[in-house]
Structures are given as C-alpha cells and as structure tokens.
Chain A
Amino acid sequence: QVQLVQSGNEVKKPGSSVRVSCKGSGDIGDTFIKYAIGWVRQAPGQGLEWMGGIAPLFGTPQYAQKFQDRVKMIADRSTGTASLELSRLTSEDTAVYYCTRTSIAVPGSGPAYYFYFMDVWAKGTTVTVSS
C-alpha cells in the first residue's frame, strides 16, 4: 500500500517562501510513473483548494491560475519525491497543505495530461504565516 509522507509543519514570516516535500513510501510501485502528484490546501475551518500538480513522468507541472506566479512544483521519479514551493507568503496562505496521488489521463503521445481524482492523500503539513 502506497503512502505519501510530508515534511514537518512550518511557521513563516509574511513575504517569505515555504517548501513542503512529499515522499512516497511502502509499495509505491508505479505511483511516480503512471500518476501525478497533486497539491491541495485547506485553510483553517475552510474547504479544499486545488493548487496544481505534476506528473513525474513528464516533469511539466500545471498550476491553478491563482498561484501561477508564485508556486513551483517539482517531482523526481527516481527518488519518489515531490515538493511544493510557495513564495511571497501572506496570512491568507495559512493552511494545511496536502500532497496527493492523482490519477491522470494522457490523451496522446506528447507531454499533455489531465488530472482526475485523488486516491492517496498524505497527512498534511501545516503552514502558518505570521509576523
């Protein structure tokens, strides 16, 4: 059974950056080949917000437009790891950040792919932005 293990909780100052890592463990099998690693965040007492994701096989991330100019997602299928970096933090970025295994569809022979549903979730990393 595959598990995703994230790095520890973070406290950051406004204007700084945070990096959250995510590592596959257990029977990761083809997780980092046939799936994408997606990132979802949840502000305190709020709902779920998709930030984007990356299929390690292709290496090209896709970001939600809201985060386009300050997010970076990378993944390494050789090590079974992924990371999320979010810059120019504000108090509104205070949230639990989840990495997920996300099913994808690959419509052709090129690097384009589409995200589907998320069947494995890590426990989450709490990022607190406070001065």
Chain B
Amino acid sequence: DIVMTQSPDSLTVSLGETATINCKSSQNVLDTSKNEHFLAWYQQKAGQPPKLLIYWASTRESGVPDRFSGSGSGTDFSLTISSLQADDVAVYYCQQYYSSPLTFGGGTKVEIK
C-alpha cells in the first residue's frame, strides 16, 4: 500500500497569512502516460464530511476559492492556503489514487492564531 505522510500534524496561522501543508507519498504517484499526479486534497470541518478541494495535484474543484492551491511532483506535494480566513479552520487530508487501496494522509489541523 502507498503510505501518505502529512506534516505538520497541526498548524496555527494568523488571519490573512499563508498556511502550507505538506504530503509525502511512499512511492511516485505520477502516471507518466497521462503526465498527471494521482493526488487529491480534502477539507473536513468539525462535524462535517470531507469536501474535495483539489485533484490531479493542482486542479481546483469547482467552487473552491482560488486562495487554495496545490503543487508538487513525484512524491512531495503541498496544499497552500493564502490569505487564511476564519472559515478555513479545518483538518486537511491528502489522498492518493495511483493504486488500490486508496490511502489518505493522517491529516493536518489548521487553526487561527
């Protein structure tokens, strides 16, 4: 199974500042035939189901604010939240879909300073 490791476990950021969450996969999740990275990011607010933010490592889901951006390649990926807002308080998860079973990172909790 591909192991997804997120860092940090938690992050405290001031309003309006930038939060960066890292995700490392235990093996490459790049499909060379498609030239796409099989990686997604989700946001889970307290008491709610997860919400898809980013797929193909950097494609924003419809309706997701452009302050959320995904980047990375190979085995190292990042989710960046620019101009952090109070509504962004949540746990964020990365997920690989390169191979079965689909696996998630352990989550990163983002809080406001």
Chain A interface residues toward B at CB < 8 A: 38, 40, 47-50, 52, 62, 64-66, 98, 103, 114-119, 121-124
Interface flag for B72 (CB, 8 Å) = no
Interface residue tally for chain B (C-beta within 8 Å): 21
List chain B positions with a Cβ less than 8 A from chain A. 38, 40, 42, 48-52, 55, 61, 93, 95, 97, 100-107
Contact, CB under 8 Å: A47 / B100: no
Residue of A nearest to B98 (CB): A114
Q: Which of B50, B55, B103 contacts A121 (CB under 8 A)? A: B50
B51 and A121 contacting across the interface, CB-CB below 8 Å: yes
Cβ A123 vs Cβ B49 within 8 A:
yes
Chain A's interface: helix, strand, loop or mixed, by majority?
Answer: strand
Checking B38, B61, B103, B105 against A50 with a beta-carbon cut-off of 8 angstroms, the contacting residue is B103
Q: With A116-B38, A117-B95 as given contacts, are A50 and B102 in contact (CB-CB < 8 Å)?
A: yes
